[in-house]
């Protein structure tokens, strides 16, 4: 699909720019560690050698990349998600998901509010859900709000959403599990072609690297 290719191309360019800047910073500090790679884990330790961060934004200033799984929400029943912390409070997000009889992807932006172990956040983005040959899409409560059963059974659907979310996440800020993140969110998906607002929700887990 042309729209999907354009979105992934934009994401690729953002990732490429991010790693170019990271590599430039690594080169500036090469006198400190000649073997450092931008793919190495970036960590902060206290005087006792324990990995420790003061706040969620402190952690995300060090840990730039996140990957995880999400159930529900803007990318279907189950999805693989990635985050790039461009700034401690700002992240680009992408998700690729599936559900019975459909596939989905999401591209968006996340804003983190500073806190400690429990921190709120908001998301906004674009999602596309499209028919696939596996399963019966009539089981989807979201798609049933837009299409009738004959359209869903026939695999004749392709819908674009604007999705907004509010959530709260638990951030592990110390020890060997630093970077583990558990979250839950409330999502509103809007299909403007049929002027439909669909509330839903999601839970998931991320690991920030």
**pLDDT, position 152:** 87
What's 82's domain CATH number?
2.40.160.20
Residue 97 lies in a domain: yes
Span between the terminal Cα atoms of the chain, in Å: 31
Residue 21 lies in a domain: no
CA distance 101 to 82: 23
Segments in the chain below pLDDT 70: 1-41
Question: 81, 67 in Cβ contact below 8 A?
Answer: yes
**pLDDT, position 32:** 38
Residue 115 lies in a domain: yes
**pLDDT, position 17:** 53
**pLDDT, position 13:** 53
**pLDDT, position 49:** 81
Residue 14 lies in a domain: no
- Cβ-Cβ contacts under 8 Å for 62 (sequence gap 6 or more): 42, 43, 44, 53
Task: Give the number of domains in the chain.
Answer: 1
- Which residue range(s) make up the domain with 173? 54-208
């Amino acid at each position: 699909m042309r729209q999907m290719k354009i979105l992934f191309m934009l994401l690729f360019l953002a990732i490429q720019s991010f790693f170019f800047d990271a590599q430039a910073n690594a080169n500036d500090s090469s006198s400190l560690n000649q073997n450092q790679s931008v793919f190495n884990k970036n960590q902060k330790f206290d005087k006792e050698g324990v990995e420790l961060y003061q706040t969620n934004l402190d952690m995300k200033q060090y840990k730039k990349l996140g990957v995880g799984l999400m159930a529900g929400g803007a990318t279907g029943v189950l999805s693989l998600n990635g985050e790039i912390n461009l700034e401690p409070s700002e992240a680009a997000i992408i998700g690729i998901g599936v559900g019975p009889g459909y596939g989905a992807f999401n591209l968006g932006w996340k804003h983190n509010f500073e806190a400690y172990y429990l921190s709120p956040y908001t998301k906004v983005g674009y999602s596309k859900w499209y028919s696939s040959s596996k399963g019966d899409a009539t089981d989807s409560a979201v798609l049933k709000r837009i299409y009738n059963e004959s359209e869903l059974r026939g695999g004749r659907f392709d819908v674009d959403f604007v999705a907004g979310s509010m959530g709260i996440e638990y951030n592990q800020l110390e020890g060997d599990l630093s970077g583990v993140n558990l979250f839950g969110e409330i999502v509103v998906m809007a299909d403007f072609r049929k002027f439909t607002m669909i509330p839903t929700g999601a839970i998931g887990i991320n690991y920030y690297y």
